[in-house]
Amino acid sequence: MRMKYRSRALQTAQSYSPKDLLSTLAGARRITENVISHLESDSAQGAGVQASVHHLETLLEKAGHLTESSPPAATPASDYLRAVRESLEIHAAPLLRAVHNALQLLKEELEPLLADPSGAMDSEMVTRDLADDLDQAWVKAQDLSRAVSVVQAVSNDFTGDDLRQARLEGALLAGVRWNASTTWPEEWEPRIRRASTPTDEEPGVLIITGEPSNMAVTADV
Q: pLDDT by residue (tens digit) across 73-83?
A: 555 568 889 99
CA distance 168 to 151: 20
Q: Name the nearest CA neighbour of 9 among 184, 171, 200.
A: 171
pLDDT of residue 50: 83
Backbone angles phi, psi at 89, to 5 degrees: -65, -30
The CATH architecture to which 6-155 belongs is Up-down Bundle (1.20)
What is the structure's pLDDT at 202? 86
| Chain segment 97-152, per-residue pLDDT in tens | 999 999 999 999 999 988 887 767 788 899 999 999 999 999 999 999 999 999 99
- Domain ranges for the chain, please list them: 6-155, 157-221
pLDDT more than 70, % of the chain:
87
Residue 40 confidence (pLDDT) above 90:
no
Ordered DSSP codes for 98-141? HHHHHHHHIIIIIHHHHTSTT-HHHHHHHHHHHHHHHHHHHHHH
Q: What is the mean pLDDT of the chain?
A: 85
**pLDDT for position 55:** 93
Q: Which pLDDT score, from 0 to 100, does residue 25 have?
A: 94
70 pLDDT higher than 90: no
Asked whether the beta carbons of 43 and 117 are under 8 A apart, the reply is no
Query: Which are the contacts of 26, defined by CB distance < 8 A and separation ≥ 6?
Result: 138
Q: What's 205's DSSP letter?
A: E
Confidence of residue 65 (pLDDT cuts 50, 70, 90): confident
What mean pLDDT comes out for the span 10-16? 90
pLDDT at 116: 82
Examine the pLDDT at 195 and tell me if it is beyond 60: yes
pLDDT value at position 49?
86
Report residue 115: phi and psi, to 5°: -80, -10
Segment 88-96 mean pLDDT: 92
CA 164, distance to chain mean position in Å, is: 33
Q: Residue 213 above 90 pLDDT?
A: no
- What are the DSSP calls for 16-39, one per residue? H--HHHHHHHHHHHHHHHHHHHHH
Among the ranges given (18-27, 147-156, 207-216), the one the predictor scored with the smallest mean pLDDT: 207-216
Question: Measured between alpha carbons, how far is 210 from 173 in angstroms, rounded to an integer?
Answer: 7
The pLDDT score that the predictor gives to residue 71 is 53
